[in-house]
Structure 1
Amino acid sequence: MAADDIGLSCLNEKLKPRYGLEFDAELSAHDFYNAYGRSMGFSVRKETYGRNKRTGELTSRLFVCCKEGFGVKDKQDDFTIKPIAETRIRCGAYLSIKLDREKNIFLVSHFVDEHNHPLVMLECGHMLPSQRTLSSSQAIEVDLADESEIPLKSSYELLGRQVGGRESLEYTKRDQKNYLRSKRQKILTYGEAGCLLKIFL
């Protein structure tokens, strides 16, 4: 076994969840499992959770592989040239955590590490859905390009060149588009609220 393979194997074992592992918060458990997912080559998704009906306190959470469950039925007809790709294939890998009320911490209660699909190579792990994020500095660059009225496709190419290629970006063009859409929706909502305030003041 090569030195790099040995190092990777040790990293995976260090990140590998185990029964009874403790976390101070749900977010910590998610980040831990997400880091493990990146090292192994799968994306993580939040699934079901439990709450205390009286207090609303989170008592349990299930994290699954993004390929868990059934995909949404494609509503397109048989003549569709490019049908929607199937992304959920009932993968059974998951991690569940449960609140220990006495210690006020979350513990790993179940962990299944068997996937029914090929895993992504480590070099491509940063492009998995749960890994793609816009940092604050990247968001500023995207905002500047948008304010300068640079088309989405051109701005994505430009930002990619600044870091040595699009493959070096931690997000896709769709992520950039979704970010801008979300930003515009917030601005629209704020604008509507502002108009209402003017009416009643």
Structure 2
Amino acid sequence: MEFDSEEEAYDFYNAYGGRIGFSIQKEYGNKVNGRIISRALVCSKEGVKGTDKQDRRIFSVQAIDVELASDLRVLACNAYELMGRKSSGKESIGYLKVDLKNYLRTRRQKELLYGNAA
């Protein structure tokens, strides 16, 4: 869904979660030119994002971009660079290059298990 502001989106999902029986929290946000263009809102039980770089992971929203780059045969190091530029810096991506490589390796392994090797 698209909203006019981040606060409007937060209020909408907070009200929805309240009706269903859970609360939400802000996760990561993608910025372009200092302006947030997308924000992940998650269940408050999701946990608090720590600063330990070893604990980072690729979220499903980010995985779409990673998989698209992989399908277009963009090398993982170039895909990581692209994601960094898209989100105004590698620091704001929320995962490391090794996380991206691990994600792609796991994806390929799952494809092999199901006989979808290309």
Calculate the TM-score normalised by the size of structure 2: 0.55
Q: 2:107 aligns with which of 183, 187, 194?
A: 183
1:144-159 equivalent positions in 2, closer than 5 A:
144-159=68-83
Name the % identity: 42
Cα RMSD (Å)? 1.9
Alignment partners' CA distance in 1, 2:80 and 2:54: 18
- SS of the aligned residue for 2:109 comes to helix
Alignment partners' CA distance in 2, 1:166 and 1:128: 12
- SS of the aligned residue for 2:94 comes to coil
Alignment partners' CA distance in 1, 2:54 and 2:80: 18
Deviation at 1:129, TM superposition (A): 1.9
Unaligned runs of 5+ in 1: 1-27, 39-124, 193-201
Unaligned runs of 5+ in 2: 1-44
Query: Which structure's residues are more often helix, by fraction?
Result: 2
Q: Does 1:136 align with 2:60?
A: yes
Amino acid at match of 1:176: L
Contact 2:84 2:92 (8 Å CA) reproduced: yes
Deviation at 1:176, TM superposition (A): 0.3
Deviation at 1:128, TM superposition (A): 2.6
Partner of 1:116: none
Alignment partners' CA distance in 1, 2:90 and 2:53: 15
Deviation at 1:162, TM superposition (A): 0.2
Whose radius of gyration is greater, 1 or 2? 1
1:20-169 equivalent positions in 2, closer than 5 A:
35=48, 38=50, 125=51, 127-130=52-55, 132-169=56-93
**Number of residue pairs matched by the alignment:** 72
Query: Structure 1: which 4+ aligned runs deviate by more than 3 Å?
Result: none
Deviation at 1:136, TM superposition (A): 1.0
